[in-house]
Structure 1
Amino acid sequence: MNSNQTSMLSDEEATLYDRQIRLWGADAQLKLRQTRLLLINVNSLSIEVCKNLCLAGVASITIFDNTRVTSNDVEENLTLTMSSTEIDEFKSVCTCRALQLLNPRVHLVAESTMTIDQIDEKYIEQFDYVCLFNYYNFQTIVKLNNLCREREQVDENGKKQTYFFCAATFGSYGFAFKDLGDKYDYLSENSFGSESLIRGEGGGNESKKSEKVTTKSVRNYATFEKALTLDWKPNRRQATIRSAVTTYNLLRGN
């Protein structure tokens, strides 16, 4: 897309995405329309994520998987993207075909000719986000994360890398990891005071709302490789963190 095509939403897009524009605004929707994603591995988790991103109206999604549909895949994914008539067809092709019906505006690409080991910086540079699902080879995860870190592109705010996400489930447990770089700037909205009713001059009640202030914040992210070296020693009272440590240890032992 050129700058003119991405400078504003069409009337058709405004109608199609009306509910989510009301939630996060037109500027965020425009950024979604310019976002290019790489989703690696087709499974129940990745299909659900891909479905939501497709409905949200991103620019393009490349679904990366060179394995073929089996009877187990049909049972696990139920009716999401695969059926018994598609056994032995590439998972990526089936998924693209089904998801394209949800939103014809999104450019869906099936990549079934490559393996994960063949992904290099040249391939990564096509995308703004790389998402890896249900993959447990930590060396490969570290490699992909580092490739994303090395990939920088210039935008209106300077430079940014290709952002990296990975997530997986194993039994009743699961994890999600994200790397948005050493310095990630974002806007946060904070409310000061509380909403209350006050008595006006005429004796009636008036609503006094809390004040909302938008501030710029910065967050620092670690790489997957660095995250695996952390020695977590949570406070005994922090039950949520203790639960996370259990999942973390299961992940490292998987």
Structure 2
Amino acid sequence: MEQPALRHGDGTAVPQARPSFARRWLRRLLWLGVLLAVLPVLQVLALRFIDPPFSSFMAIRQAEAWIGGERDFDLYYQWRDLDQIASSLPVSVIAAEDQNFAKHRGFDLDAIEQARAHNASGGRMRGASTISQQAAKNLFLWGGRSWVRKGLEAYYTLLMETLWPKTRILEVYVNVAEFGDGVYGAQAAAKRHFGKDAGQLNAGESARLAAVLPSPQRYSASQPGPYVQRRAQWIQRNARQIGGESYLETLK
């Protein structure tokens, strides 16, 4: 019900005070904050059921190619459901990147502490990002080490761990991870590097693909140098130690 206008004793209307400039902008900022908080929830909830047609990293790489005049650059990306990908690949990725994937809720605190202690000792910089964090970054964000990006990564990671089952996080990650310059996801990687479908990969090929993930534009799975060969062997040993393909049965 509309409130009656206030009036002076002589019957004239009392002028209504307008919100101050500062208050109007504060209100707008509050609405912007609500929007920025809700939008990621809608994105993550939608992509639990909809397979992403592309990722943020793909869009950024394509834009870089256009700006840089790389006229012959093409992105390679084909979605495959997890049950269409050889089990050895997601197991290899877990063995290489995040052996506590089934246990943590997005952040591996033990790995973070180990990385902090290692980096403080002056050794080669080591990260502690989980598969969930990497999936969030690749799908929604951009590279770099800014606090803004890390904060958004943490928020998206929490949302994904809350709204998605572990199998969906793993499925999305192996489909959007970069396995070579412009080569994204298991199917494109299997085709580009080994000339076969992702469902036909063997354990050795899967380990080599997982081995290049730290620097997919620097290393090659199809023409592995000494580093990739050593890392692939290490990944295969770790994959056996965590239970091999039966590890996937522990995911929910």
TM-score of Structure 1 vs Structure 2, range by shorter chain? under 0.3
Q: TM-score, normalised on structure 1? A: 0.24
- Return the index of the structure with the highest Cα Rg: 2
Q: TM-score, normalised on structure 2? A: 0.24
- Give the number of the structure whose residues are more often strand, by fraction: 1
- Give the number of the structure whose residues are more often helix, by fraction: 2
